[in-house]
Structures are given as structure tokens and as C-alpha cells.
Amino acid sequence: MRIELESSLARWVQAELLDQQQARRISEYESSAAPPARSQMPIFIGLALGGIALATGLLLFVSAHWDRMSPFERMATLVGGLAVLHAGGALAAARFRAMSITLHAIGTALLGGAILLAGQIFNMQEHWPAAILMWAAGAVAGAVLIRDWAQFALAAMLVPFWLVAEWTNAMQSSNGADQIATTGVALLAICYLSVRGRDSRAKALTWIGGLALLPAVLILCLEGSGAFDGGRIRFTEPEATYGWPGAMLLPLVFAFVYRRAGTWMNAVAAIWILGLAMIADARFELGVYALAALGAAGLVAWGIQESHAPRINLGMAGFFVNLIFFFFSSVMDKLGRSLSLIALGVVLLAGGWYGEKLRRRFVARARAGGVE
């Protein structure tokens, strides 16, 4: 079990398990005995950029020679390219784990393009979300067989992508389909963010949830697709049978698998997301800002309660994004140009200074409880 040494020593001194002199001696010993830190960030950046360049180059090469290839040559190129990437990943697994993860990830990422191109080769006019399903199945197989975080992250993104594609394709005539999908994605992002743990899979889910949450909530607030009528959910078929229950329950089932008894917090988040969608569709602008601020504060409190710093950071960021939107939409047009810019500068400077102080205080409190 990894611990944060300084915060743990402070708690042990406070609990009178150690005195100040003993804590200082332990800290000095660990500092002198610790090996020099070696940053692996340049290696990871190089691998990421190299992987992107390799994938882009392969796609450009295939597209440049596509018209001159026979159907057999096209298919052989696609299958051979994927086989070479995964074989290279398997060979590098014992010698350079990061390279192996990169090559396997490129292979799985290019699988989607290969599936679509294979459909084009044979002129298949089929149900288009089925291609995403096959891509997601390949990512799930990679997560099961290869067992690295990149395959797991791809599967965690592609399976919801397939579900959203199936839903929107089936409900093209429904005005509320897009907002139902956005609501489900926003709740799933919160559930991903709520996963705790030090292993690479949990960190990948936290990153995916953190990156997706603010855009999903912003789209939900701006959408106004007509799924609600005057703040009341319109339970028409098949929205009532499949849409809203699926958007709410599927992310909560995922949260239950990882959190068990802690899923009640995800259920509270589901109520908040649903309320935000209702108020946004009712065009109650002040209510949207108030509920968004409440959600940001709740995310910060949730992070402190469960000692999870990423939620604190994201909650503080969400609060200030909400404040900026509120200023531009409700305050700036009521002031003159120069006065509004002065007020905006004061708000950003003062709010940024005090907000950073609060963020550091909250993160320190979370780390004192053993942040994961």
C-alpha cells in the first residue's frame, strides 16, 4: 500500500504515535535513501507522437494507393497492417512495455478504419452502427487478452459510442434522442470519474471521465432539443421504455460494479444531471447557472469526502467556467464595453487567486486522508 509520507507523518504525530523528532528523522532518512527521480515523460511523449505519426502515415499511404489496388490487395493490406502492429506489440512486450502498449493501441485504433474500409471494398450497405460494434468488440477482446490500460481505455470509449450510435440511428425521427444520449454520456463521465484506485485502468477511467464531463455538461445545457416540454419529461414511446431508463441506469450499473456501497453518490449525480437537463430545456437560465454551480461544489465536496484530488480540481474548474459563462451572458451586456472588461479582469484575477488558494487547501485536506 502506497502512502503519502509527509501527510502520513503529520497524522501520526497528531495521533501521538510519533513525536516531532522521530517524524523529522524518518523524513530525512527517506529523503536521503530515495533514488534520484528520472522523468519518463519525454519517453511517453515520444511514443505518443510516434504512434500518432505512424497511424496517420499508414492511413495516408493506403488512401494514396487505394484506387490502384484490387479488392484482394486492399483487404490484404488492411489485415496485414493490423497483424504487423499487434505482432510487433507482442514481441516488444518483454523488452519495452511502453512500446508494446503503443503498438497494440495503434492496431486497435486502426481497426475501426479497417472495418469501414472493408465495408467500402465489398460495397456493403448495412446498419452503420454495426461497424462501431465490431470495433468495440475488438477493443474489448484486446482488453481481455492484452490486459493493458490503453486497450481498456479504448473499450471504455467505444462501447458507449456504439450504444449512442444505435440509439441515435434508431431514433432519427425523435427530437429528444440527442438530449437523452447527452444526458447518458454526462452521467457516464461522472461514473468514470468516480472510479478510485492507483492501477492504470482506474487512472485511465478517471482521465476519460474528467475530459468528457465538462464538454458533455456544456452541450447538455446548450442543446434544447425538445425532449422536455415546459420542464416536464415527455414520456413517449420508445423514450419512456428504453431511452431515459437506459441513460440513467446503465451508468449506475457500471458504477455499482466498481463502487458497490458508494453508488448512492452516483445516484445523487444522476438526479442532478436529470434536473439540469430539465431546467436547461425549460430555458430557465439562472436556474441552469445555479444548478451548475451546485454541481461543481458537490463535485469538490465529493472529492474531499473520498480523498480524490481529480474531482476537486475538476469541480473548481467547472465552477469558474460556469462563472465566466454567467458573466458573459448575464452581466457583460448590462455594462459598457470598458467597464465590462474591467469587471471581467477583476473577477478573473481575484477569483483565480482565491480559487487557487481554496483548491490547494481542499487538495491538501484530501491528501491528508490518503488520496488515491
Give the start-to-end residue ranges of the domains of the chain: 47-170, 176-283, 286-372
Query: Which of 286-295, 319-328, 360-369 holds the top average pLDDT?
Result: 286-295
- 67-76, 144-153, 258-267, 330-339: the lowest-pLDDT one: 330-339
- 112-116, 205-209, 231-235, 259-263: the lowest-pLDDT one: 231-235
Q: How confident is the model at residue 41 (pLDDT cuts 50, 70, 90)?
A: low
Of 255 and 56, the structure prediction assigns the larger pLDDT to: 255
Residues of the chain with pLDDT > 90: what percent?
32
Beta bridge partners of 233: 228
pLDDT higher than threshold 80 for residue 260? yes
- Say if CB 296 and CB 311 are below 8 A apart: no
pLDDT higher than threshold 70 for residue 34? no
Host H or E run for residue 188: helix 177-193
Q: How confident is the model at residue 61 (pLDDT cuts 50, 70, 90)?
A: confident
224 alpha-carbon distance from chain centroid: 23
**Residue 234, φ and ψ in degrees, nearest 5:** -90, 100
CB atoms within 10 A of CB 325: 16
Of 33 and 174, the structure prediction assigns the larger pLDDT to: 174
Q: How confident is the model at residue 371 (pLDDT cuts 50, 70, 90)?
A: very low
Report the candidate in 372, 312, 369, 363 with the shortest Cα–Cα distance to residue 8.
369
pLDDT higher than threshold 50 for residue 325? yes
* Residue whose C-alpha cell is 485502468: 201
Chain segment 172-213, per-residue pLDDT in tens: 766 677 888 999 999 999 999 999 877 889 999 999 999 999
Phi-psi category of 236—alpha, beta or left, where left has phi over 0 and alpha has psi -120 to 50?
Answer: beta
Give the pLDDT mean for 121-130.
73
Q: Supply the pLDDT for residue 231.
A: 43
pLDDT higher than threshold 80 for residue 307? yes
Entry pTM: 0.81
**Residue 292, φ and ψ in degrees, nearest 5:** -65, -40
Host H or E run for residue 229: strand 228-229
Q: How confident is the model at residue 18 (pLDDT cuts 50, 70, 90)?
A: confident
Angstrom distance (rounded) from CA 319 to CA 292 = 8
Chain segment 76-92, per-residue pLDDT in tens: 877 888 888 889 889 88
Residues of the chain with pLDDT > 70: what percent?
86
